[in-house]
C-alpha cells in the first residue's frame, strides 16, 4: 500500500513539473468528475464475491464480470452525459473533450478479470499488491 501511495505522489510531482498550472488543474478536475461518478455507482461486486459462501464459483465470477462490464459501460455513458454540464459548471470548455476521452479508462477497468477478485477472497496479498503496483505503473 505504501508503494502505491509513493507512486501516486511521484506521478503527481512529475505532472506538476510537466504540465502548466492550468493543465494540471484540468487534470485534477477531470479526476474529480470521473471519481465522483464512479463512486456513486459502486455495486459492491468485490465485497459480494469475497463474503458470499459461493462467491468463488465460476457462475458467480462470470456474473460478477458481466455486471462489472455493464456497469462500466453505464458509468462511461453517464460520464459522457455529464461532460457538457461539468464543462459549463467549471466554465472551462476544454473539459468537455478531456472528460469524454478519460471515460474510456472506466470501460477498460470494467474488463478486469474476476479471478483478480478471488485473490482478495483467498488472501493472496502478494498477487494483489503486484497487480495494483503494475496497474499504477501503467496508469502513470
* Length, in residues, of the chain: 140
pTM above 0.95, yes or no: no
Q: Using CA atoms, how far apart are residues 28 and 83, in angstroms rounded to an integer? A: 14
Q: Which residues of 59-75 are buried (b: 16+ CB within 10 A; e: fewer)?
A: ebbeebbeebeebbeeb
What pLDDT does residue 136 have?
A: 66
Q: Which residues of 16-54 are buried (b: 16+ CB within 10 A; e: fewer)?
A: eeeeeeeeeebeebbeebbeebbeeeeeebbeebbeeee
What pLDDT does residue 59 have?
A: 87
Q: Using CA atoms, how far apart are residues 55 and 47, in angstroms rounded to an integer? A: 9
First to last CA, the chain: 16
Q: What is the pLDDT along the chain (140 residues), one digit of tens a residue?
A: 677 777 778 877 887 788 788 888 888 889 889 888 888 887 787 787 778 887 778 888 888 889 889 999 999 999 999 999 999 999 999 999 999 998 988 888 888 877 777 777 777 778 877 877 777 666 65
Residues spanned by the domain of 22: 2-139
- Main-chain dihedrals φ then ψ at residue 90, nearest 5 degrees: -85, 0
Domain tally, the chain: 1
Q: Give the chain's radius of gyration (CA, Å).
A: 17
Amino acid at each position: 500500500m505504501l508503494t502505491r501511495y509513493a507512486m501516486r505522489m511521484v506521478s503527481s510531482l512529475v505532472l506538476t513539473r510537466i504540465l502548466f498550472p492550468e493543465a494540471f488543474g484540468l487534470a485534477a478536475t477531470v479526476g474529480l468528475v470521473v471519481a465522483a461518478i464512479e463512486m456513486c455507482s459502486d455495486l459492491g461486486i468485490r465485497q459480494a464475491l469475497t463474503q458470499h459462501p459461493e462467491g468463488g464459483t465460476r457462475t458467480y465470477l462470470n456474473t460478477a464480470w458481466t455486471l462489472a462490464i455493464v456497469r462500466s459501460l453505464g458509468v462511461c455513458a453517464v460520464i459522457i452525459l455529464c461532460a457538457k454540464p461539468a464543462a459549463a459548471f467549471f466554465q472551462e470548455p476544454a473539459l468537455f473533450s478531456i472528460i469524454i476521452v478519460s471515460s474510456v479508462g472506466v470501460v477498460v477497468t470494467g474488463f478486469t478479470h474476476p479471478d483478480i477478485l478471488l485473490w482478495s477472497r483467498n488472501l493472496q496479498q502478494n498477487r494483489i499488491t503486484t497487480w495494483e503496483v503494475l496497474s499504477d505503473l501503467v496508469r502513470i
